[in-house]
């Protein structure tokens, strides 16, 4: 098993974990709707928990989306160029824009989550209060996965000749 296979396997695993979060998210939303409209007893925690679950789902699924080439792209003109030129452009994009940006977001995300953890920061948009690091930890995790998947894409372009 090569490094790209390992990265792809990790990406896929976290992508499925992120996708699985749709079930507790749906439960929280349905529970809140039932409590609010059937029993006139809205919860104080459902909104915060739902955006925490959605954020985690979004961040964990980003690398998988890149792996499966499901991000929105406007490449009408790009596809008109020869494959070799497309490969060079893809490689430049990953090396000059994507990898440095995701590395910076990992680095800043670690600091962001660590400050929240060390300072015992709390978050809330309602009366429900929870530790901020629980939400913020998904930022460096999600962007680390994106960085690794971008690295896998670079390796695939360089050594396997693949373009998206």
Q: Where are the domains of the chain?
A: 3-71+81-160
The model carries a pTM of 0.91
Res 163: pLDDT: 57
pLDDT tens digit sequence for 54-103: 999 999 999 999 999 888 877 888 889 999 998 999 999 999 999 999 99
- Residue 142 near residue 59, CB atoms below 8 Å: yes
Q: What angle do CA 21, 112, 145 make, to 5 degrees?
A: 45
């Amino acid at each position: 098993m090569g490094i790209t296979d390992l990265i792809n396997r990790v990406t896929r695993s976290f992508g499925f974990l992120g996708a699985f979060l749709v079930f507790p998210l749906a439960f929280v939303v349905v529970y809140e709707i039932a409590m609010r409209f059937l029993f006139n007893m809205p919860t104080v925690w459902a909104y915060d928990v739902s955006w925490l679950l959605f954020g985690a789902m979004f961040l964990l699924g980003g690398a998988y989306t890149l792996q499966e080439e499901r991000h929105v792209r406007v490449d009408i003109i790009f596809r008109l160029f020869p494959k070799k030129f497309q490969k060079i452009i893809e490689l430049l994009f990953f090396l000059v824009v994507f990898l440095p940006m995701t590395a910076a977001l990992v680095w800043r995300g670690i600091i962001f989550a660590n400050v929240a953890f060390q300072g015992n920061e709390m978050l809330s948009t309602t009366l429900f209060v929870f530790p901020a690091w629980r939400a913020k930890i998904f930022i460096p995790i999600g962007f680390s996965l994106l960085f690794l998947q971008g690295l896998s894409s670079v390796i695939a372009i360089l050594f396997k000749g693949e373009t998206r």
